[in-house]
Amino acid sequence: AEPPAWAPGPAQAAALLEEAADLLVLHRDFAAAVERCEAGCDSLGPHLRRCLFLTSFAEVKCSLCVVGIQALAEMNRWREVLSWVLQYYHVPEHLPPKVLELCILLYSKVGEPQVMLEAGSSWLRAQGNQRLPELGPLLELFVAQVLLPLGHFEGAEELVRGCALEDSEQQLQLLGSVCESRARWARRRETRPAAEEQQDPATETVLGVLSQKLLTMVTLLRRALRSMSNHFYFLPYKKMLLATFLLYLVVVRLDPASPTSLPFIYKLVQLFRQAWAAVLSPIHRPPIRD
């Protein structure tokens, strides 16, 4: 018997899936893996619409997207992930549960859960997804990783009550989690001003200790420069002091990414400028002889 007209497409997609997986895992050629995944999804497009009842083809397309998502994440192109998968499924409601789960986890991991707000809500509210066995786990994941971290408590309660969960106990547990998260959120808002007030004296204390160390180090450096001035008055004082200051920052391990370190570093830089002005004060140099 002749093979069906749709056979070449799925066969090609399966071969491209295997090749993409090898490129991702064995060769770590992520860009090439994404290209293979795109070619496989493109080859499946029309065939999958004609043979939607053949779930194996849908699984091949889903697997291609999973490999593509992982390859994009490896290249730090995670911002493209959602739009990339939607070009093959067109609307969030048609995303396979595995792809939706991976997207939620990815954007939550990189600290951008808001990207999945609309897509996740649309998928969970879609009537065609209400009978899927993955509905409950995806709802729980979406609430925990997207809605609650963003403080969307009312939206979380509405979504939980609107989904057709077969397990009523799971629904009650989710609603309880929303209430607990709302209470913790309120407590943090109440205690945040007090914590900020307590943070300033601690920062000033650390600043005072480090400032004293810096002043002591500058004093010793100035004395050393004075003692060397008789023989090496041409030394580049500014470069030496700057290098010493940078080394000092490395030693005390300041974290520029920390929000509390920004005013601290600013104050320390001001102190450095004052110390530098002191070093630039007239230093005894030997008289120039004819």
Range 184-191 contact pairs with CB under 8 angstroms and sequence separation of 24 or more: 185/151, 185/153
What Cα–Cα distance (Å) separates residue 244 from each residue in 214, 231, 272, 285? 10, 21, 11, 23
Q: Are 70 and 24 in contact (CB under 8 A)?
A: yes
What Cα–Cα distance (Å) separates residue 224 from each residue in 129, 171, 236, 274? 76, 73, 13, 18
Residue 163: phi and psi, rounded to 5, are -80, 145
pLDDT of residue 9: 67
- DSSP states along 186-202: HHHHHHHHHHHHHHHHH
The structure tokens listed for 179 are: 């209430």
- pLDDT per position in the chain (290 positions), as tens? 333 444 456 788 889 999 999 999 999 999 999 999 999 999 886 544 444 444 578 889 999 999 999 999 999 999 999 999 999 999 999 999 999 999 999 999 999 999 999 999 999 999 999 999 999 999 999 999 999 999 999 999 999 999 988 778 888 999 999 999 889 888 888 776 655 555 445 444 444 444 455 455 545 555 544 554 444 444 454 445 554 444 444 444 444 444 444 444 445 445 555 555 555 555 444 454 54
Residue found under tokens 């999973």 = 66
Type of residue found at 136: G
Compute how many other C-beta atoms are within 10 angstroms of the C-beta atom of residue 109.
12
pTM above 0.85, yes or no: no
DSSP-derived secondary structure letter, 202: H
CA–CA separation, 147 vs 159, rounded Å? 10
Compute the 3-state secondary structure of the chain and give helix, strand, coil in percent, each to the nearest 5: 80, 0, 20
